Structure 1
Amino acid sequence: MSVQIGNIDLGEFPLLLAPMEDVSDPPFRYVCKQHGADMMYTEFISSEGLIRDAAKSRKKLDIFEYERPIGIQIFGSDIEHMREASAISSQAGPDLIDINYGCPVKNVACRGAGASLLQDIDKMVAMTKAVVEGTHLPVTVKTRLGWDDNTKNVHEVALRLQDVGIKALTIHGRTRSQMYKGSADWSLISDIRRDPRIEIPIFGNGDIDSPEKAAAWRMEYGVDGMMIGRAAIGYPWIFREIKHFFKTGQHLDKPTFAERIDACRTHLVKSIEWKGPKTGVFEMRRHYANYFKGIENFKEYRMKLVTAGTFEELEDILSEIEHNPRFDNPVSTVEI
C-alpha cells in the first residue's frame, strides 16, 4: 500500500532525506535525489527571517522541479509569525510545509522554537493549527520523543497534532536533552504507529546508517517510512543501497571510486551554479572529507581540495585523483 501525504504518493515505503542546517541545500539534495531519496526537505527556515525578507532565509526557499516532492521546513516561536511564514513559503511552490519541533541547538531551542515547543504542547498545537490555516498545502511535522527522559510526550503530540490537521509526523528517536548522543530509541515511535487512533503516516528518524538496520527496524517498529540524515552526508548511495536490500536481501556493490569522484564533482558544479563561484567553492569544503571517507592515503588530496580557491583548481585536483593508480581499487577500505 502506498504512503500518502495529501495527494502526494510516496510509494510503498519511502526513504526521506532529513532537513539538515548547512547541509540540505539544493546541490546536496540533487545528488541525494539522483541516488534514490523519495522525498526531501529544505534546510529549516526562520519564520522571522521570512517575514523580514532576509536574503539568507529567502534564498532557502529555492526549489527545483527535479526535487519533487519537496517540503519547505519552517521554525519559529511566534504563532502568528509562523502562520505568515507558512503563507510566504507556500508561494514558493513546494509540495508541502513542514514544521520543525525537533531542533535541539541552543540558539533555536532556547529562543522558544524547535524542540522548545515540546515543553508547551498547548502552544505547539495552536502554532500547528495556525500553520495549517496559513497554507493550502499539506502540513507535516518533525519532532523528538520529548524534552528529556521525564517528559517523553510525543504520543500526546502525535494525537493532538493529527487532530488539528497535520498529514504526517516524523519522530527522531531521541529527546532534546540527548542532542545527538547515545542511541535512538524507536520503541515509542512504534507504539504511536500501532495506535489505532493514528491515521497519518509515521516516519522514524535516527541512527539509520545501513541497509541491514533499515530492514530490521522496518520489521521491528512498523513505521511507514524512514528519514535519513547524517548517514547521507557524503554518501548519497545509502538510499539506493537500502532499497536494493529491501527488494533482494542482498547488498548492492559499494560505489566505485569513479562514482565517488562523479558525485563529488556534480555536487561541486551544482554548488557553484546555485551559490556563485566564490561561495560555491568555499561551502563545498565541508563535504570533501565525507565523500572520500575511509580512503587510505587520501589526506594529501583532502588538504588540496579544502584549500583550492577556484573551480578550475578543483577540477584539476579531481582529475588528478581520478587518474592516480593508487586509487584504482580502494573500495574495500570504504565504510559508511
Structure 2
Amino acid sequence: MRFEERLEVLQQCLGQIYPGVISDVRHSPLIPLLERCEGGTLRSSDLLDWQGDFCPVAWLNLLQSTLRAMDDWCERLGGDRGLLDLEHYQVLQYFAALTANLLSYVALYDSDFIDYPLGSEDINRLAAKDIIQPTRLIGHKEFSRLYDAAPLDGGRHEALLDWLSGRRYFKAVSEKGDIAAQDSRLPEQADPEKRLPKPPAAVGDTWQLRAESDKLSSEDVIDILQRHGLVPHAAYRETKYLKPLGFKPGDSAGPVACGVLVVEKTKTANLWLLTADVAEPLSGLSRVDYPATSPTAERYGRNSNLQKIAELAYAPVSKIKIKTVAELRSVLTYLGRG
C-alpha cells in the first residue's frame, strides 16, 4: 500500500474512533516528514530543533494508545481478532512505527534530545524491512555499548549510525540534501558564474537591522556575542564542537558568576551555562535544565564535550537554544550587553 493510501485509511480510522475530535491528519506538518522518513529522503536539517516540541511524541502516544484500546476492546469480547478492522489496525501500527522511526532519527542526530529515549528496539526497527515486525539484529548489551560511545558532530551518535550504515534496509539521512535542493532552484543562465549568489554582508555588521524572526546560525551568534564584549575563554580552547567564551579582565560578567559560557556549534546555536547563573527565566527562549552528574554516572546525560569545561562538566547546567534575532537580543539583555 502506498503512503497516500495508508494516510487515507488512517484518516478514516481516526475519524471513526474520535469523531469531531481529530481534525484532518493529512494537513499535519508531521505528514511530509513521515513521508520522507518512509521514502528514505530525510535530510539532516529535518532533524534539528525538536527539543521540547511535544507534537511528534504526542502523535505517537495517540497512535499507541488507540492500538491498546483496540486490543483491550477485542480482549473483552472474547479475544476474537476477527472483530477488529484489520486494515485500520495495521495502518495504525504502521504509522506508530514510522513515527517512532522519525523520533529515533532525531535522537540519533541529537544526543541531548530527551523527549524520546533510544532503545535497542528503535535501532532494530530502523534496520528492518518490516518496521511493524522488525528482526532482532542488535541486543541490549551491544546497543548500550554503542550508545555510550561519545557522541560526535555536536551530538550525533556516530557509533550507532556506523552500525546502521551496514544494514541493508537502513535509510540513511542525507547530509547534503539542503545544498542540492538549493542548487536545483538556481535559474539557468548562460554565464555559470552569474548563478552564484553574492556573499552576504557579515551578520555581525547588519544583524540589528534584521527582522526579529530572522534565523541565526551558531557562527552568527558567536560573532555577535564577541562583538558585544565576550572573548574566547582564556582557560579553554575552542574545538570543532564548542566555543567557550568569557569576559575581559576587569569587565563585568553580569549574571554569569562562574565566568564561562559555552556556545555549542550546531546549526542552531545552543548556549550552555550553569543553571545557577540563569536562575531567572529568560522569556520566550527554549531552555532545558540538566541535573548534576558525576564521572561515575552510568550516563553522562548532557553533551559529552562539556566534560572538558570544569565549571560545566558535572554541575547542574542549562541549555538555551538561540534560533532568531529576537532570542539573541534576549540573551544579550540578560548578559547586560543589550
TM-score (norm 2): 0.29
Determine which structure has more spread, i.e. the larger CA radius of gyration. Answer: 2
TM-score (norm 1): 0.29
